[in-house]
Amino acid sequence: MGFADQRFNVNLSILFTELPLLERPAAAAAAGFTAVELWWPWVDSPTPEQSRLDALRKAIEDAGVLLAGLNFYAGQLPGPDRGALSVPGEESKKFRANVDVAADFAQSLGCKALNALYGNRVDGVDPAAQDALALQNLALAARAAERVGAVLLIEALNRPESPLYPLVSAPSAVGIVDKVNATTGLGNTKFLMDLYHLSMNGEDLPSVIERYASRTGHVQIADNPGRGAPGTGSLPLEDLLDQLAKAGYEGWVGLEYKPGDTPSAAAFDWLPAHARAAR
């Protein structure tokens, strides 16, 4: 087995960002990929004008790529925010306003995975109150995902880079998965296994895969240290993906790494060209 046996997609919110948003899907296609994913592209608006949604949809359709994953609104990302759904006040209101907009956009492009970032802890707010708000909003998101035939993803980030984010281990994220599924009864909430974030937390990645591969709805990778392409750090990513495949994971692997000093199109030399197209 090896990298050639995986189904890879490119995250257009971290790769090809030297290009305008509407040019990125075609650039990914020109690099040989047939699928892409995105963080919520409009950090200024959870409910953008229909013309902006239509333009992005057309760019993806014209490029001939599949939208394999989409984040719900998560505030300023990249930036200081790490989600909005547990943040009281305007941010959680924006998240709720975005839920159906994002779900409908995903459905229009056949996207089957919607990622909901939990949000940072807020000074002066009881963490229990934030968790209660988060569960309400995640249940809303899970129901919207179910309506459009998608899964809801819950992701662990890493403590060094996101010290205010409460989900900084695989067990903490999977615990939220369980709570959402118990609340909704839908069973469509799954773990997003980001091997870079988990490695930054010092977790035993083979053990995480063994325990949670069956609970995983999406995988993302970057090497560590540096969050660069596979081979730029020390993570045995090929071996880890092999283990995931042997454990039965057949979903997408999102490339969510920084291209470094080279143009994004030159950041895929590690991956054979024939392995970039979904099979």
The residues annotated as belonging to the active site are 155, 256
CB 113 within 8 A of CB 158: no
Find the angle CA(68)-CA(120)-CA(254) to the nearest 5 degrees.
20
With both helix axes pointing from N to C terminus, report the angle between 90-108 and 50-63 in degrees, rounded to the nearest 10. Answer: 40
The tokens for 80 are 């200081």
**Secondary structure in 3-state letters for 170-220:** HHHHHHHHHHHHHHHCCCCEEEEEEHHHHHHCCCCHHHHHHHHHHHEEEEE
Task: Measure the CA–CA gap between 76 and 65, rounded to whole angstroms.
Answer: 26
**Measured at the alpha carbon of residue 229, what is the angle toward residues 82 and 191, in degrees to the nearest 5?**
45
Largest Cα separation within the chain, whole Å, is 52
